[in-house]
Structure 1
Amino acid sequence: MSLKTIVKISNVTNLSDARYCAGMGVDMLGFSMDADSPEYVEPTKFGDIRGWVAGVQIVGETTATDPEVIEQLLDTYQPDVLQIDEAALLPYLATFSRPDAELQLILRVDIEQLTLDQLESLFQTGITGADYVLLESQSPLHLEEELKATLQRLSARHPVLLGTGISVANVHTLLADLPVRGIALSGGHEEQPGNKEFGELMDILEAIEVE
């Protein structure tokens, strides 16, 4: 099974999502390592889920800004990829490596919080060391023409994962219009263990499936 672009699933909280997404051929599964997050996955559960999936990169997601806290999380979770929200941490974290491979880094950027000029400035000076820049927004975002033009410029030069404004109706158009490296979708909570309504996540993955 393969998909027509790189796909990261953020905020995975359960085995159902993880196994389904891995089976569909997604590239990265993200788990929140922050104990105060609603999507927090504690280390034992994380280890159990990780043991059931193969062929995907495991992303440890954190909003922490204290390097010592992040070091502890890395030691506990041992992810393949670390996702952070603070660009200033990139030079420090770029020196980290795991025993078997170099730690990859994703910088998550909330584009609602930045003007287009600030976004361009960040890409020019603040993303050195990031393997990917994940662009998200807290609320649904309409990609109007000015923003789309900015994203076209930035994603032509940098490894962007688009994590907002994606629907079944527009995913093919977005991938045709924007030279992004991939997209990011969010997992969710099970109503009860083993019973999950995937909804739009499933529809989008099926839409970009390569026969």
Structure 2
Amino acid sequence: MLALPVLVRGINNLSDARYCAGMGAQGLIFTLDQQLPGALDAATARELAGWVAGVDIIGEFGHVAGAEINRLVEECDLSGVLLRLDRGRPAWPQGLAVPVLVEVPEVVLTHPDHLAATLADLTASFPAGFALFGEAPRPYATDRAYYHQLARQAPLWLAAPADPTQAADTAQQVHPAGLILSGGDELKPGLRDFTELEAVFEALEEA
């Protein structure tokens, strides 16, 4: 059992989907915005998701209208969305039917005025609920202490460091809502090297 919730981003093959679900990931993130690198079509995402059970299926989008996101939410049976948006205060998609995870730049997370304005915007724009997603803090105690306080202001997900020890330290010292790992490509159909991903999963297991 993992010590905290984990999502895996960039799922594009069945090997990753089944492996991550089996290792205890809470959710799998599929890139469904065709303007983003590595995007999958809805049919492929549905097919991959159909091979796993007991995990959240999340769609990743950039600048896509709320109506189109909601269409794909229904078509792919998504439980949430991850929004990749530019710096500044963008026009948020309107009327989303599911909770959102908003990827925000470091300047928002580390600047009190930017953070306050962003939280106010998100509260007004996403009544179904929202969480923040950003980069993990640097491996210094002062940074982790700051992010720990930030995680008490709003649900905060962090990109998990690739180093297993740093990933475990971030989980233990920051106490975020969860960590987000990155999936990878198969070496060939049905063949995938999980060495690095396995090390991080094992480091996040509860003692």
| TMscore range, shorter length | 0.7 to 0.9
The match for 1:99 is none
Residue 34 in 1 paired to residue 21 in 2? no
Please give the alpha-carbon distance, in whole angstroms, between the structure 1 residues aligned to 2:33 and 2:120: 28
Q: Give 1:58 shift.
A: 0.3
Instruction: Give the TM-score normalised by the residue count of structure 1.
Output: 0.81
Q: CA RMSD in A?
A: 2.5
Q: Give 1:144 shift.
A: 4.4
Q: Give 1:21 shift.
A: 0.6
> Could you tell which deviates more after superposition, 11-20 or 77-86?
77-86
Residue 207 in 1 paired to residue 206 in 2? no
Residue 93 in 1 paired to residue 92 in 2? no
Matched-pair identity in %? 26
Residue 8 in 1 paired to residue 2 in 2? no
The match for 1:46 is 45
Query: Could you tell me whether the CA contact under 8 Å between 2:108 and 2:118 is conserved in 1?
Result: no
Residue 179 in 1 paired to residue 181 in 2? no
SS of 1:170 mapped into structure 2: helix
Residue 107 in 1 paired to residue 112 in 2? no
SS of 2:34 mapped into structure 1: coil
Please give the alpha-carbon distance, in whole angstroms, between the structure 2 residues aligned to 1:208 and 1:115: 24
Structure 1: segments with no counterpart, 5+ residues:
97-102
The number of residue pairs the alignment matches comes to 198
Structure 2: segments with no counterpart, 5+ residues:
none
The match for 2:70 is 71
- The amino acid of 1:89's aligned partner reads W
Query: Could you tell me whether the CA contact under 8 Å between 2:7 and 2:181 is conserved in 1?
Result: yes
Query: Could you tell me whether the CA contact under 8 Å between 1:106 and 1:133 is conserved in 2?
Result: yes
> Could you tell which deviates more after superposition, 166-175 or 55-64?
166-175
The match for 1:148 is 144
SS of 1:54 mapped into structure 2: coil
> Could you tell which deviates more after superposition, 55-64 or 68-77?
68-77
Please give the alpha-carbon distance, in whole angstroms, between the structure 2 residues aligned to 1:169 and 1:146: 18
> Could you tell which deviates more after superposition, 153-162 or 163-172?
163-172
SS of 1:4 mapped into structure 2: coil
SS of 1:185 mapped into structure 2: strand
Query: Could you tell me whether the CA contact under 8 Å between 1:60 and 1:82 is conserved in 2?
Result: yes
Query: Could you tell me whether the CA contact under 8 Å between 2:73 and 2:79 is conserved in 1?
Result: no
Judged with a 3 Å threshold, the aligned counterparts in structure 2 of structure 1 residues 127 and 147 are, in CA distance, closer, same or farther, namely farther
Judged with a 3 Å threshold, the aligned counterparts in structure 2 of structure 1 residues 133 and 174 are, in CA distance, closer, same or farther, namely same
Q: Give 1:65 shift.
A: 3.8
Q: Give 1:7 shift.
A: 0.3
